[in-house]
Amino acid sequence: MAAIYRRIFCGIALLQAFVASSPLPLDTMPRYFQNTPITRRQVSVSQIEHELGPLLSPNSAIFLPSDPEWANVNERWNTLAPPDIEIVVQPAEESDVPIIVRYCNDNSFEFLAVNRGHGFTTSLGTFKGVQIDLKQLTAINIEKDRKSALFQGGAWAREVIGTLWDRGYVTSGHGRYEGLYGLVADNIIHLNVVLADGSVISVNKTSHNDLLWAMKGAGHNFGIVTSFKLKIYPKKVETWHYHNYFWTQDKLETVFEELNKIQDHGKSPVLLGSSYGQIYMNQSLSKTEAILWWTFAYAGAASEAENILRPFNQIEAISEEMGDVPYPDIVTPQNTDIASCGSAAYAISTVLLQTYNITAQRQIYDLFNRNAALYPELAETSRLYYEGYAVKGMQAVASASTAYPHRDENHLAFFATAVPKGSDLSDPAKTWAKDSWDLWNAGQPTRKPATYVNYATGNQYELLESIYGYESWRLERLRGLKNKYDPNNRFRFFVPIVAADEEPKRIHG
Ligand SMILES: Cc1cc2nc3c(=O)[nH]c(=O)nc-3n(C[C@H](O)[C@H](O)[C@H](O)COP(=O)(O)OP(=O)(O)OC[C@H]3O[C@@H](n4cnc5c(N)ncnc54)[C@H](O)[C@@H]3O)c2cc1C
């Protein structure tokens, strides 16, 4: 009972009483006269709870490290270099977010928004402070025009897909509808944003249009999105067809050749929404040779899909399975559902590619088998992942029109291995990741390494230009906007365009 009282602030009377007696004179001086935030070096987490809690709307929650739910609230996909979260604040209303940000500013605390905790760049490991957990902000409302929907900033894939599908709609993302409708960024109409100083702004074509450009590809550097309006589209099919294959390694060259052919330099069939592959040690099939597992998903009838997949059907498989499911269920046979998201300390490297270099793929495969034999403990979790989406919709958008710079890339590949707790396998794991990365890039000698921003790892060899673009005007423009909208670089923990230059202050426990 005490824990619940402590965490949930749920009564207007209580709220007013606390605000009236707040020991912190938040607004005694107009904010624009405050050059630098007040520094309160000895403030404890429980003091923060007592000061901030009453300022928030009913049902907002505050979690302290002593709370039994602490580990759950702070769960992350990658625990290799996690942020150091000292207190978690869960706003119940969008209007709570600017209050939390201003409170942090007034006390010189760093803040970090979190949605589902899949961000895996090691730059997150430089963070210490207040986590603004958006898990309660998940409302989704279809607008009257039926052409767009308003999503709160904590909405996440499964809810978005399920909610829209049930009402007869879909939306896009770097995912299965990309071939038809482009990236999430390409579908943004409007964003409600809390800036680093706690001000709330509307970002759209007529309001802060310069920031709209930057938010479409580098948004985490500029503000916290409390809600956003995105285009939606009527669903056109009732089921998606999937076809999965297990192949032995001797088919590797043929498989990648066919993948290149079907991708056809970006001209792959738009309804063939995804082709994902994994190369891994499947002990039940072979203890020494990694196998290839590939899964294809098509928005439409099995007969149409199988016609497109004919070249893959001709590659002799160890086993195959296929079926037809509503769109929200396609994640299960494709192994991208929530059950496939295990939390661990992952060493990762990632690349974007135009075409697969078959020789390089064989070298990466051979390296995989060699390392799997050398490090059996890593072999259990190591995987080469391949993601191919239809890209027509994404490539139809002019490159300079958004901050996303890699519209000419067709494939995403990455290596990941989980470093077992307490093991000394961190260095071999990182070397394995780097060696795979080197081979992928050596396989396209006329191109510079390219990284999808949401897959950026923070590895030292991953240049900022590889993420935000090599054209010098891109980073210049982003940094100019950074100077305008976040001059104190408060948003610098997730793939930052301006790196941190100072140690953040600790909150005392
Ligand atoms: C297993 C796995 C599968 C993936 N598959 C795909 C995929 O199919 N397609 C794809 O595009 N990406 C994919 N990704 C990458 C994914 O998009 C990124 O990891 C993304 O950062 C995850 O968002 P999150 O909310 O879970 O992470 P978080 O760690 O919660 O957030 C990531 C960053 O965004 C910031 N942020 C979160 N919410 C907001 C907000 N409302 N306003 C402003 N900033 C905010 C956070 O501060 C943080 O720095 C995958 C990642 C993993 C680990």
Contacts of 111 (CB under 8 A, 6+ apart): 100, 101, 104, 129, 130, 131, 132, 490
**pLDDT single digits (tens) 345-402:** 999 999 999 999 999 999 999 999 999 999 999 999 999 999 999 999 999 999 999 9
Residue 412 and residue 437 in contact, taking contact as beta carbons nearer than 8 Å: no
Looking at residue 288, what is its pLDDT? 95
**Amino acid identity for residue 453 in this structure:** V
- Taking the CA atoms of residue 335, residue 340, residue 341 and residue 344 in that order, the dihedral angle to the nearest 10 degrees is -120
Looking at residue 338, what is its pLDDT? 84
State whether the beta carbon of 211 lies less than 6 angstroms from ligand 1: no
Looking at residue 375, what is its pLDDT? 98
Sign of the CA dihedral 448, 449, 452, 453? negative
State whether the beta carbon of 125 lies less than 6 angstroms from ligand 1: no
Q: How many CA atoms lie within 13 A of 394 on its CB side?
A: 30
Looking at residue 30, what is its pLDDT? 42
State whether the beta carbon of 116 lies less than 6 angstroms from ligand 1: yes
What does the domain layout of the chain look like in residue ranges? 2-133, 140-234, 240-468
**Amino acid identity for residue 356 in this structure:** Y
Indicate the CATH number for domain 2-133: 3.30.43.10
Fold adopted by 140-234: 3.30.465
**pLDDT single digits (tens) 87-128:** 999 999 999 999 999 999 999 999 999 999 999 999 999 999
| Helix, coil or strand: residue 394 | helix
**pLDDT single digits (tens) 37-57:** 455 656 788 899 999 999 999
Give the whole-angstrom CA distance, residue 61 versus residue 49.
9
Domain 240-468 classified CATH 3.40.462.20?
Answer: yes
Across 197-215, average pLDDT: 98
Query: Which has the closest alpha carbon to 110: 496, 441, 475?
Result: 496
Give the mutation target among 111, 118, 275 for probing the ligand 1 site: most ligand atoms within 8 A of CB: 118
Query: Which has the closest alpha carbon to 389: 157, 169, 182, 234?
Result: 182
In this prediction, residue 3 has a pLDDT band, given cuts at 50, 70 and 90, of very low
Q: What is the mean pLDDT of the chain?
A: 91
pTM score, whole prediction:
0.91
Contacts of 472 (CB under 8 A, 6+ apart): none
Share of the chain above pLDDT 70, in %: 90
**pLDDT single digits (tens) 125-178:** 999 999 999 999 999 999 999 999 999 999 999 999 999 999 999 999 899 999
